[in-house]
Amino acid sequence: MFNRILLIISSVVMLAACSNSNVKKDSADTKKDFIRVGVFNVNGGSPECITDACEAVRIDREMKVEIVRASQIASSELNNFDVIIMPGGSGTSETLSLGQQGISALREWVKQDGKCLLGICAGAYVMSNTPNYNCFALNGTKAIDIEHDHRGHGLAKFTLSDKGLRYFPELENFDTLYCQYYEGPVLVDADNDKISYETVAVMQSDVHLIEGTPANMTNNRPFVVMSDVEQGRTVAFVGHPETTPGMRWMVPRMIRVALDMPIIEYPKSVVRPEMWTKEILFDKARRAEQDKHYTAIKYGDEGEILAAIEWLIDNAAWSSQKWMPGLLRHTAPEIRIAAAHAVVELESTESIPDLKSAIAVEKDNTVKDSLKSCLKELETMIG
C-alpha cells in the first residue's frame, strides 16, 4: 500500500536534485436544508475521537457539524440539532458530565422529537441498558463482561447483515470488512427491555489480547445496531469507523439511514473498503513494534522515520494520523513529502490547515508541487 508513496517520494527527490446504482446522486436543485450534527465534548470524550467524528461527518456535503457542551444539550439549544454523537472515550464520564437533566433531555429529544442519537465505542455503552451502569437505555442492548473491558484493540473483522447491505450497497461484494476496534462493549439483548434493535453488522474478531481476558466474547456479537425508539432512532457502533481510512463514511451514511434521508454517493477517495484485507490485532509483540516506530518518528533519522510511516499505515496503528502533521514541517524534503502522502492515505482531513501552511512556506518548488497535489486529494474528501 505504502510502496506507491515511496515511489512518488523517490521520483520527486530525484527531480529536486536535478532542479453504485443503489446510491442516489443528488443535484443542487434537490438539496435540502443541512443536517445539523453535534459531537458531544465535555469530560469524557477522547479529543482524538471527537475530532475524528467531526471529520467523518464532514464527508457528507449536506451535513454541518459542531462540538457541543453539556450545557447546550440540557437547554433549548438541543432543538437546533438533528443528531448528537456520543464519541469514544469514557461513557461514565460522559453521563456524569450530562447529569440527569442532560440525559433526560436527550431521551425526550429522541423519543418525542424524532431525532437521532449515535454512539461510538464508549458512546455505544451509553446507548445501552446495562445494569449498574449510568446509561440511556435507548437501544435494547446491554453490555456484558465489563470487568474485562480492557481487552485490546486492532483492525477487527466484521460482516454486514442483509439490512446492512441495503444501507451500504457499495459493500455488497465484500464478504468480510475491517474496522478499528478499541475495547468497545460486548452487546447482547437487554433484560426485559421493550426496545428492539436491528443488527446492521456483526463482529467476527475474537479480541482477548490482554492477559486474563476471556476468549469468544467479542466474536459473533453485534458490531453496529440501530433501534427505533418511539419517534426517533439510535445507532451504536461498537468499533471506530470514524478513525478507519476507507470506512469513515459509514458514520454519515448511518446518520442518513437513521433520519430516513436518501443515501447519497460519497467520493471514491473515502469509499475504500478494499484498503484492508486482513485482521490486524495488537498483541504484545505488535504493540512493542508500534512503540518502536512511534519512537522513531520522534527521534529517528530520515530512514527510520520513513520506515516508521510505512509501518504505521500498513499496520493500521491506532491514531497514526496524529503523528503526521508535524512531519510536514521536517527539515528533510523526503519526509515532508512522505507525511503529505500519509495524511492522504489516512484521510486525515483535519490536517488540511497544516498542509496549507507547509505549502505556503515550502521553498523547493518540486516538493511544493507534490504537497499541492496531496492537498487537492485531501480536499476531495470533504463534502
Q: What percent of the chain has pLDDT over 70?
A: 91
72 pLDDT higher than 80:
yes
Neighbours of 219 (CB within 10 A): 17
CA distances to 170, 182, 227, 371 from 274, in Å: 11, 21, 29, 25
Taking residue 134's Cβ as centre, other Cβ atoms within 10 Å add up to 15
Q: Within 10 A of 284 (CB to CB), how many other CB atoms are there?
A: 11
Q: What is the pLDDT of residue 303?
A: 98
Strands 83-86 and 116-120: parallel
Phi, psi of 176 (to 5 degrees): -130, 140
pLDDT digits (tens, 9 = 90+) for 75-89: 999 999 999 999 998
pLDDT digits (tens, 9 = 90+) for 275-312: 999 999 999 999 999 999 999 999 999 999 999 999 99
Residues in the chain: 383
Per-residue confidence at 95, pLDDT binned at 50, 70, 90?
confident
Which pLDDT belongs to residue 19?
38
What was the pLDDT predicted at 1? 54
Euclidean distance between CA atoms 190 and 143, whole angstroms: 8
Average pLDDT, the chain: 91
Reported CATH class of domain 35-275: alpha beta
Residue span(s) of the chain under CATH 3.40.50.880 come to: 35-275
pLDDT attached to residue 283: 97
> Whole-prediction pTM value?
0.91
Angle CA 201–202–208, to nearest 5: 140
Q: What is the pLDDT of residue 44?
A: 55
> Which residues of the chain are in CATH 1.25.40 domains?
3-19+284-379
> How large is the average pLDDT for residues 52-70?
97
Residue of 146, 139, 150, 149 whose CA lies nearest to 117: 139
Architecture of domain 3-19+284-379: Alpha Horseshoe (1.25)
Residue 8: pLDDT above 50?
no
Tens of pLDDT along 101-149?
A: 999 999 999 999 999 999 999 999 999 999 988 899 999 999 999 999 9
Is pLDDT at 321 greater than 80 in this prediction? yes
Mean pLDDT of 178-189: 97
Share of the chain above pLDDT 90, in %: 84
Q: Specify whether the CB–CB gap between 16 and 356 falls below 8 A.
A: no
Beta strands per DSSP E along the chain: 35-40, 63-68, 83-86, 116-120, 141-144, 153-160, 177-182, 186-189, 197-203, 221-229, 232-237, 280-281
Farthest-apart Cα atoms in the chain, separation? 73
Q: Using CB atoms within 10 Å of the CB of residue 112, give its burial: 0 to 12 exposed, 13 to 18 middle, 19+ buried.
A: exposed
What is the per-residue pLDDT across 197-221, written as a single tens digit (0 to 9) for each?
999 999 999 999 999 999 999 999 9
Count of other CB atoms within 10 angstroms of residue 277: 9
Note the pLDDT of residue 45.
Answer: 57
Q: pLDDT class for 32, splitting at 50, 70, 90? A: low
**CA distances for 321 relative to 180, 317, 339, 344, 381, angstroms:** 13, 9, 9, 10, 15
Answer yes or no: are the C-beta atoms of 188 and 142 closer than 8 Å.
yes
- Least confident interval from 5-19, 296-310, 313-327, 344-358: 5-19
